[in-house]
Amino acid sequence: SSPDSEGGTPELEKAGLLNKTKIAEGGRKLRKNWSPSWVVLVGNSLVFFKDPKSQTPASWRPGNSRPESSVDLRGAKLHWANELSSKKNVFKLRTVTGNEFLLQSETDSLIKEWFITIQSVIDRLDRE
Ligand code: I3S
């Protein structure tokens, strides 16, 4: 692992624009409300920013940022979930606390990369 994984600034794994809706909070179902979200995978967390247009590489650094919400990936589960939406390329992320999100992109390669990268972080945390 690189020096940054030993403490201090968490490692940026990936950042980009995805469509997002939260579908459950603490196990309780929520009404869908899809919207574009700037998604940042950093350290053990998936961080969501509300206004993608206002984001710059500097603004998602810890301390400079105002994330809409943040998801702890430890113990999380990831599943392709095309049956949960009429949209294509949808996967579901469920946290240990019972929060569930759908993430989607029109671009096949992009959503596959996100799936693989998030799953690799979950797998790494499972091994710790
Ligand atoms: O799973 P649903 O209930 O069919 O999800 C759709 C609704 O959330 C819909 O909004 P209304 O609550 O106003 O009906 C959204 O506009 C749709 O995008 C949701 O379905 P998709 O298939 O896009 O996930």
The residue whose two tokens read 């589960």 is 77
Close Cβ partners of 4 (under 8 Å, ≥ 6 residues apart): 10, 11
Ligand 1 neighbours, Cβ below 6 Å, are: 31-32, 34, 85-87
The distance between the two most distant Cα atoms of the chain, rounded to a whole number of Å, is 43
**60 bridge partner residues:** none
Residue 9: φ, ψ to 5°: -70, 120
Rounded Cα distance between 40 and 60, Å, is: 8
Q: Which residue reads 């979930």 in tokens?
A: 81
- HSE of 51, CA atoms in CB hemisphere, 13 A: 7
Higher pLDDT, 121 or 54: 121
Query: Whole-prediction pTM value?
Result: 0.86
Measured in angstroms, how far is the CA atom of residue 70 from the centroid of ligand 1? Answer: 23
DSSP state of 9: S
Residue-wise pLDDT tens digits, 27-73: 999 999 999 999 999 999 999 987 656 556 665 555 556 788 999 99
Counting from 1 in the atom list of ligand 1, the atom nearest the Cα of 21 is 24
Nearest CA to ligand 1 atom 7: 32
**How crowded is residue 104: how many other Cβ atoms within 10 Å of its Cβ?**
19
CA 90 to ligand 1 center in whole angstroms: 13
Supply the mean pLDDT for the chain. 88
Could you tell me which of 14, 13, 21 has the C-alpha nearest to residue 90? 21
Q: What is the pLDDT of residue 12?
A: 80
Residue 122 CA to ligand 1 centre (angstroms): 28
